Every structure is written in structure tokens, then in C-alpha cells.
Amino acid sequence: MMESLDQFYYKPLVAVVTEAEHGKTVRTVLERQLGVSRKLLSQVKLTEHGLTVNEKRAYTTAPVVQGDIIRVRMEREVSGDILPQPIPIQIVFEDEDLLIVNKPAGMIVHPTHGHYTGTMANGVVYHWQERGERVRFRPVHRLDEETSGLVAIAKTSYVHQQLSGQMQANGFLKLYRAYVYGCPEPIKGTVDAPIDRNPDEPHIRIVTPEGYPSVTHYETAKRFRAEGEKPAAAAVRLKLETGRTHQIRVHMQHIGCPLIGDKMYGPKDGAINDWENAVGRQALHAETLGFRHPITKSWMEWQAPLPPELERLEQILAQNKAKP
């Protein structure tokens, strides 16, 4: 029976009823022990083996006794709307619950209008297909097309729910590295400035008092000086407390230090210099990602080294051979 169930369901979530939970309902035990959402329970209870107590189908409102074993089984799903493509993807970590990918700059995370192929999702779905896995593509967060670095992908709806909850509770560690014009003053601080869409150009974000709360912590790692002048550029480490669209790019522009190579939020004089030629895109990289594994509960953390184009940019800045 179990082999046949594994073909149609993911590995079950298991809760053993404690003495303190004797007489409580199935729903209460699952919410307390595993943090299972009511939305997920409403989905799994519709299938024959989705919700069981001692391997017998159960209702969420059914009372349980100490020692009962509750199992939650989610049906295996696939992303039928995403075309599998043999696109190389750099896998940093993978287990049966989640996948961590180091995304290159120039790649979109998920198919969008006008970009149905060539995305990271197309490559990931192909990877799972080749491994014989039936998994739906569920990114926990996104990166802009021209931003490189680490992206977390959940392999079940429960894992996605748990990681999304961690992110909303500021339990995610997301550290970025950026190269900016000038140098932030002070060299270490916090940008607390609300962000919303530009009413005149909705694809652009701006700092506005009517915007959504947005907080970015930054620390200057290196300053690059043109000889005899104030810092012309800097390498900055950033930590997000919120995750608004274009947040780092908007906040760095807001404090007068736009990202090198940022066509949308960078300097508007139209000049292209050696720095921008070296990087070829906005100089932003998601270098560190950390969170508590939803199943094992252990803290996990990953690093993504600087891609070659950002290494070249830093070499040019360090040599002071180019001026903005």
C-alpha cells in the first residue's frame, strides 16, 4: 500500500497525540504541532489518504486520544503550465522538501507574459522530470532578472507555507552585495523609507510617504577612491527586513548611491563608463540565504560566490582606472 501511496502523495507529515492533547481535535493537534494551515487541511481532507488517524480516514473536527498517529499526505503535483527545458541551473542544495538555486544574472525566475521559456522555472521543471520527480514549482521569493544569487524553491505546499511564514516573521536571513556610486553616509545604517509604485510609471517604484513600510540595513564593506577625491564608489552589504519589489535599488537611489549598471534607478545622464561596461547589468548579488528547515527544524545557511562580472567590476574599481 505504501509504495502505491508514494506514487501519488508526498512523504506524510506526522503528529503523535500527546497526553496534553488528549481529547483535542485533529485540526488543533496539527495546528499546534506542525503549524498546518486550515487552507492546507481543506485541500488534503478531500483525498482518500490525505488526512488519517491510525491510517483510517479522518475529519479535521474528530477528537483524538493520546498515542494516536495523525498523518497528512499532500497529493503530488506538477507545473503543467511550465515547459520543461534543458537549461543549466546551478543547484546549491536539494532534498525532498526544498531546492536552493544560484540564479545567474539575465535569467527570469518564473514565466511571465512574453517570457514563457528560458526561465529558471523551465530549467528546474526539466531537472525534476529527468529525476522522475513529480513536483510543482513554488518559489518562496524572487530576484530581479538582472540580479544574481540564491533563490529558495519549496517542493510542497506545506514547505512553501512554512517558509513564507518565516519570511513574513523576519526569520529569513537574506544578505546582498551591491556596488554603488559614491559611498553611503553614514557608512553603516538603516534606510527606513516606504515604497510604492510610481503613479505615472507603474513598473517603477518610488519612495513615498503613502507607500508600504520598507526597511533595508546596510554596511559599507569597501570604498574605492579616485586619487585625491572623495569615494567614487563602494561595495555595500545589505540585509532586507522587508521584501518590496526593487527595494535595494530604490533605497540606494534614495540615499544618493544608486547601483552601478542599474538602467532604471541609476544616473540619468546616459553616459556609459568602464564600470557599467564591466558588469553589463545592475551590480547586485544575493550572496547569503539562511532559514530554519521546515521539516528538520535545523538552521541552514548557504553562500553564493561573486559571479565573474562582479569580480571584474571590483578589480576595475580597486585599480582606479575608471572614473564615473
274 and 194 in one domain?
yes
CA terminus-to-terminus distance, the chain = 68
SS3 at position 130: helix
Find the range with the poorest average confidence among 97-101, 214-218, 222-226. Answer: 222-226
Last-in-domain residue among 72, 105, 120: 72
**Is residue 20 situated within a structural domain?**
yes
Give percent of the chain with pLDDT exceeding 70: 94
What would the mean pLDDT of 217-246 be, rounded to a whole number? Answer: 86
Cell 547601483 sits on residue:
259
198 and 275 in one domain?
yes
**Is residue 228 situated within a structural domain?**
yes
Flag whether pLDDT at 1 surpasses 50.
Answer: no
Q: Determine the pLDDT at residue 314.
A: 92
Q: How, if at all, do strands 231-240 and 284-292 pair?
A: unpaired
Q: What letter represents residue 200's amino acid?
A: D
Find the range with the poorest average confidence among 47-61, 159-173, 215-229, 231-245. Answer: 215-229
Flag whether pLDDT at 18 surpasses 60.
Answer: yes
What would the mean pLDDT of 184-189 be, rounded to a whole number? Answer: 95
**Residue positions annotated with a catalytic role:** 144
Q: Determine the pLDDT at residue 268.
A: 75
Q: Which DSSP string do the residues of 226-254 spell out, in sequence order?
A: -TTSSEEEEEEEEEESS--TTHHHHHHHH
Flag whether pLDDT at 113 surpasses 90.
Answer: no
177 and 163 in one domain?
no
Q: Domain range spanning residue 311?
A: 173-319
Q: Determine the pLDDT at residue 3.
A: 53
Indicate the pLDDT class of residue 322, thresholds 50, 70 and 90. very low
Mean pLDDT, all residues of the chain: 92
Indicate the pLDDT class of residue 7, thresholds 50, 70 and 90. confident
113 and 38 in one domain?
no
Q: How far apart are CA 265 and CA 275, in angstroms?
A: 16
43 and 148 in one domain?
no
Which pTM value belongs to this model? 0.90
Flag whether pLDDT at 48 surpasses 80.
Answer: yes
282 and 159 in one domain?
no
What would the mean pLDDT of 155-177 be, rounded to a whole number? Answer: 93
Q: How far apart are CA 231 and CA 21, in angstroms?
A: 62
Backbone angles phi, psi at 230, to 5 degrees: -70, 165
Q: How far apart are CA 138 and CA 60, in angstroms?
A: 26
Provide Rg for the chain, Cα atoms. Answer: 23
Find the range with the poorest average confidence among 180-184, 238-242, 316-320. Answer: 316-320
SS3 at position 206: strand
Q: Determine the pLDDT at residue 231.
A: 67
**Is residue 46 situated within a structural domain?**
yes
Residue 53: which CATH number? 3.10.290.10
The three cell numbers of residue 183 are 559611498
217 and 155 in one domain?
no
315 and 179 in one domain?
yes
Number of domains in the chain: 3
144 and 7 in one domain?
no
Flag whether pLDDT at 269 surpasses 80.
Answer: no
**Is residue 83 situated within a structural domain?**
no
Last-in-domain residue among 43, 72, 101: 72
Separation in Å, CA 215 to CA 6, 182, 282: 43, 21, 20
Flag whether pLDDT at 243 surpasses 90.
Answer: no
198 and 150 in one domain?
no
